[in-house]
Homo-oligomer: A and B are copies of this chain.
């Protein structure tokens, strides 16, 4: 029997014992042995849980027990997850995690510690919940030259934007509903300001390039400013507004950004709705490959943790090409320089005057039909953020600027 410990008994961690139980003999067959949760580390007590008797309050109990061969770290946050995981691996225990913050911040060091101690550090559940993401990068796509990764990586914002579109409601109103439903936190910043998605795309960029960039080198923009008028405009463009996280790789340079973008309905990301996530990978050889599924939620994510537990304990993960990446400050191109297309809405009476002004400022300008009275809407490109920031001053009353996904 393989003894394991869970550290952090919240949404995801709390699902692990149930998933282990529900998989039953299938898991035993995959591992070649039965798996038992011996300890659960949490500050709280869980008197009503059938697993309540396994709760301990000190990490040392787990670290010092040589029977424990693996720790499932589902506590979230960079600290003390980093320290606990490091200590466990130094004692010869595998670590599997759903914690994107610690992987995005310290993934390089954690993978090195794993290697030095002959154990595994696996993090399938840290990106895309139950969607197989990390493993395809390490197996099916191994050796392929990745050109870009584009994803809808945050279920909360995707739920909000989907509802704003289908019910033509304001952001604040839908956010309040998402909070009431438990889909959004009371402080929604990590989700709606793109911080969570940024952590995930930093991990995917590291898997694609071997370079782990610091958070401040990735750009992120909030969805708080998106309005029903923006969504109407996207509709007229046969498109949807999505919070897209992208890593673009060309000529050895990397650009990582998260921003609300207008996605044309011909792009498969446009039809990813509600809490679903999707990761689209473009490689030189295979072209586009997309992985789609539930990006969050107790059972999908706990299921991904348990898949990693099985891969670690069976030895399957050891034979896979284990991802390695190094921290590389300065590896990412400053986002301000990447040329993009934009949807721009301006309060103006004369379409022709505005069109003329914009056609002097942009290489290409197209008037969008069906604008509300007193508004002129244009599709302009291409300009970098830096150039756009300069251009905006000449444009008068700009109501909205949204990037167009290409």
- B270 contacts A307, C-beta separation under 8 Å: no
- A299 contacts B321, C-beta separation under 8 Å: no
What CA separation (Å) do A142 and B26 show in the bound complex?
8
Q: Tell me, rounded to whole Å, the shortest Cβ–Cβ distance linking A140 to chain B.
A: 3
A319 at the interface (CB under 8 A from B): yes
Q: Tell me, rounded to whole Å, the shortest Cβ–Cβ distance linking A18 to chain B.
A: 10
Chain A 111-141, CB within 8 Å of chain B: the 1/0 string? Answer: 0000000000000100000111001100111
Closest to A128 in B: B289
- A124 contacts B140, C-beta separation under 8 Å: yes
Within residues 252 to 280 of chain A, which ones have a CB less than 8 A from any CB in chain B? 265-266, 268, 270-273, 276, 278, 280
Contact of A290 among B27, B124, B143, B290 (CB under 8 A): B290
Closest to A281 in B: B293
A389 at the interface (CB under 8 A from B): no
What CA separation (Å) do A285 and B142 show in the bound complex?
27
A316 at the interface (CB under 8 A from B): yes
Given A130-B286, A265-B271, A268-B292, the answer on whether A140 and B307 have CB atoms closer than 8 Å is yes
Q: What chain B residues lie within 8 Å of A141 (beta carbons)?
A: 132
Size category, A interface:
35 or more
- B271 contacts A300, C-beta separation under 8 Å: no
For this chain, the copies found in one complex come to 2
A5 at the interface (CB under 8 A from B): no
Q: What chain B residues lie within 8 Å of A270 (beta carbons)?
A: 271
Q: Tell me, rounded to whole Å, the shortest Cβ–Cβ distance linking A310 to chain B.
A: 7
Closest to A280 in B: B292
* Consensus secondary structure, chain A interface: mixed
Q: Tell me, rounded to whole Å, the shortest Cβ–Cβ distance linking A393 to chain B.
A: 39
What CA separation (Å) do A321 and B27 show in the bound complex?
11
A151 at the interface (CB under 8 A from B): no
What CA separation (Å) do A30 and B140 show in the bound complex?
11
Given A140-B124, A271-B270, the answer on whether A299 and B316 have CB atoms closer than 8 Å is no
Closest to A26 in B: B143
A46 at the interface (CB under 8 A from B): no
What CA separation (Å) do A314 and B320 show in the bound complex?
9
A95 at the interface (CB under 8 A from B): no
Contact of A291 among B144, B289, B311 (CB under 8 A): B289
Contact of A292 among B135, B284, B290 (CB under 8 A): B290
Contact of A30 among B278, B300, B321 (CB under 8 A): B321
Chain A 87-126, CB within 8 Å of chain B: the 1/0 string? Answer: 0000000000000000000000000000000000000100
Q: What chain B residues lie within 8 Å of A290 (beta carbons)?
A: 278, 290-293
Closest to A140 in B: B132
- A299 contacts B271, C-beta separation under 8 Å: no
Within residues 299 to 324 of chain A, which ones have a CB less than 8 A from any CB in chain B? 299-300, 303-304, 307, 310-311, 314-316, 318-321
Contact of A286 among B142, B285, B303 (CB under 8 A): B303
Q: Tell me, rounded to whole Å, the shortest Cβ–Cβ distance linking A320 to chain B.
A: 6
A22 at the interface (CB under 8 A from B): yes
A396 at the interface (CB under 8 A from B): no
Q: Tell me, rounded to whole Å, the shortest Cβ–Cβ distance linking A155 to chain B.
A: 12
- A289 contacts B132, C-beta separation under 8 Å: yes
What CA separation (Å) do A132 and B140 show in the bound complex?
6
What CA separation (Å) do A143 and B305 show in the bound complex?
13
- B292 contacts A286, C-beta separation under 8 Å: no
- A285 contacts B130, C-beta separation under 8 Å: yes
Given contacts A26-B142, A139-B307, 9 further A-B contacts (CB under 8 A): A23-B144, A30-B142, A132-B139, A139-B139, A143-B310, A144-B303, A289-B294, A291-B292, A314-B321
17 A-B residue pairings within 8 Å (CB atoms): A22-B284, A22-B285, A23-B143, A23-B285, A29-B143, A30-B143, A132-B132, A132-B141, A140-B304, A144-B303, A285-B299, A286-B293, A286-B304, A287-B297, A289-B291, A289-B294, A316-B319
